[in-house]
């Protein structure tokens, strides 16, 4: 199974901790073949140099570095053109892409252009007898489907926070700066402006997430959750109903159709525990559930459960944390 390549996008010089999860998966697949792991690194700005060093530090032998002013947030069409051009030249047999906002659209379109096999939203990867065994969630996260990929090339998109970031394994590595041709006038869509919600920042990689559900009662309830998240140094998320109701931005949604998080601490406030939501947070190290219904399904996945009205529980909890932290 020679030629495993990770697609790492670095729009606007952002850091790439999420791409390192793909490197861990690539290294595991390559362990029995030893062909080495490569990466396509795309973006703009000085962050590319820092990202290159991180990839080499985690065992990526070859980095195909592609800088272009159009490779910025939201420019999926530009990323597609750049990725295709680099991969046609590098000819890897297996391509791993993060199933984030860009990757969910990039992976299937890239597979069609390359005539490759495709598996999306993988949560587990393994190599067996020359084939790739990929597992993905089905039925709202209630079951896992196992797919055996024997065709090459293959494009696999990996659900964020499904794989572990590997331990550093520095290699000397080499860098190939690749020039790509992207004509802005030929792109079918143009990004004019990117708006980010302030509280959304850091949700993907937060070590503490405080998430609210329908039982919060409305947008005013999330003000209390923001206060709890603030004293814990965390981020605020939500299940699908608050997002559907417009109480919070859709970008806060965690679950099968939203984001996947794996924080050290996940506090589920007034969330019933539908399987679609659990699929996006079940990998959390410690799960605390606060719900007034003692039979709520969320308690079956929680490590610690508190039965009661969150309005009576969260304020004294915030006060106690502030007291312990001191001035």
In three-state secondary structure terms, 132 is strand
Q: Taking each helix axis from N to C terminus, what angle separates 221-232 and 310-325, rounded to the nearest 10 degrees?
A: 20
Task: Determine contact, residues 163/262, Cβ cutoff 8 Å.
Answer: no
Overall residue count recorded for the chain in this entry: 327
d(CA 236, CA 257): 17
Q: Is residue 17 part of a domain?
A: yes
Q: Is residue 301 part of a domain?
A: yes
Task: Determine contact, residues 96/4, Cβ cutoff 8 Å.
Answer: yes
Select from 155, 186, 217 the last residue of a domain: 186
Residues 84 and 228 in one domain: no
Print pLDDT tens along the chain (327 aa). 458 999 987 765 444 667 889 999 999 998 877 778 999 998 887 778 888 888 999 999 999 999 888 888 778 899 999 999 999 999 999 999 998 888 899 999 999 999 999 999 999 999 998 899 999 988 766 788 999 999 999 999 998 888 888 899 998 889 999 988 888 888 888 777 776 654 444 787 789 999 999 999 999 999 999 999 999 999 999 999 999 999 999 889 998 878 888 899 999 999 999 988 998 898 899 999 999 999 999 999 999 999 999 999 999 999 999 998 877
Identify the pLDDT of residue 18: 74
Residue 221 CB contacts under 8 Å (≥ 6 apart), including other chains: 212, 247, 270, 310, 311
The residue to which tokens 């920042």 are assigned: 201
> What's the whole-model pTM score?
0.78
From residue 97, how far is each of 5, 7, 111 by CA, in Å? 9, 5, 11
Q: Is residue 191 part of a domain?
A: no
In three-state secondary structure terms, 258 is coil
Identify the pLDDT of residue 163: 87
Q: Is residue 192 part of a domain?
A: no
Domain of residue 39: give its range. 4-186
Contacts 24+ apart (CB under 8 A), 308-312: 310/215, 310/216, 310/221, 310/224, 310/269, 310/270, 311/221, 311/224
What is the count of structural domains for the chain? 2
The tokens describing 80, both together, are: 């597609």
From residue 36, how far is each of 19, 26, 78, 90, 229 by CA, in Å? 17, 9, 27, 13, 41
The tokens describing 113, both together, are: 């252009």
* Phi–psi pair at 276, nearest 5 degrees: -65, -35
Residues 182 and 203 in one domain: no
d(CA 56, CA 174): 8
Select from 151, 186, 221 the last residue of a domain: 186
Residues 271 and 159 in one domain: no
Identify the pLDDT of residue 13: 43
Tell me: cis bond preceding 153? Omega within 30 of 0 counts: yes
For residue 290, give the CATH number of its domain: 3.40.50.1220
Residues 37 and 71 in one domain: yes
The residue to which tokens 């331990």 are assigned: 167
CB atoms within 10 A of CB 18: 19
Residues 24 and 125 in one domain: yes
- Adjacency order of strands within the sheet including 304-307: 235-238, 208-212, 265-269, 286-291, 304-307
Select from 186, 216, 246 the last residue of a domain: 186
From residue 302, how far is each of 10, 114, 191, 291 by CA, in Å? 35, 43, 41, 11
Residues 203 and 224 in one domain: yes
The tokens describing 1, both together, are: 């199974």
Q: Is residue 30 part of a domain?
A: yes
d(CA 13, CA 213): 34
The tokens describing 61, both together, are: 């032998």
Q: Is residue 300 part of a domain?
A: yes
d(CA 52, CA 62): 9
For residue 71, give the CATH number of its domain: 3.40.50.620
Residues 9 and 86 in one domain: yes
């Amino acid at each position: 199974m020679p030629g495993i390549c990770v697609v790492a996008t670095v729009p606007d010089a952002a850091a790439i901790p999420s791409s390192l999860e793909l490197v861990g998966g690539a290294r595991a697949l390559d362990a029995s073949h030893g062909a080495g792991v490569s990466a396509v690194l795309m973006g703009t700005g000085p962050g590319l140099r820092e990202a290159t060093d991180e990839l080499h530090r985690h065992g990526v032998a070859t980095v195909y570095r592609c800088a272009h002013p159009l490779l910025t947030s939201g420019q999926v069409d530009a990323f597609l053109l750049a990725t295709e051009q680099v991969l046609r030249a590098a000819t890897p047999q297996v391509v791993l892409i993060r199933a984030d906002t860009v990757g969910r659209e990039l992976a299937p379109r890239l597979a069609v252009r390359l005539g490759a096999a495709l598996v999306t939203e993988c949560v587990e990867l393994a190599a067996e007898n020359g084939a790739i065994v990929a597992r993905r969630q089905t039925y709202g996260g209630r079951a896992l489907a196992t797919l055996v990929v024997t065709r090459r090339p293959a494009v696999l998109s990996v659900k964020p926070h499904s794989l572990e970031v590997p331990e550093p394994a520095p290699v000397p590595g080499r860098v190939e700066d690749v020039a790509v041709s992207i004509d802005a006038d030929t792109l079918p869509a143009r990004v004019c402006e990117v708006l980010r919600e302030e509280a959304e920042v850091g949700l993907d990689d937060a070590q503490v997430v405080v998430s609210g559900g329908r039982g919060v009662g409305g947008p005013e309830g999330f003000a209390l959750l923001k206060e709890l998240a603030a004293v814990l140094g965390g981020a605020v998320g939500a299940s699908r109903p608050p997002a559907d109701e417009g109480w919070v931005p859709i970008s806060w949604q965690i679950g099968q159709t939203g984001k996947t998080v794996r924080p050290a601490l996940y506090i589920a406030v007034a969330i019933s525990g539908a399987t679609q939501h659990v699929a996006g947070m079940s990998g959390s190290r410690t799960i605390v559930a606060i719900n007034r219904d003692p039979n709520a399904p969320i308690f079956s996945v929680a490590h610690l459960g508190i039965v009661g009205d969150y309005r009576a529980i969260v304020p004294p909890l915030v006060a106690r944390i502030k007291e312990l932290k001191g001035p």
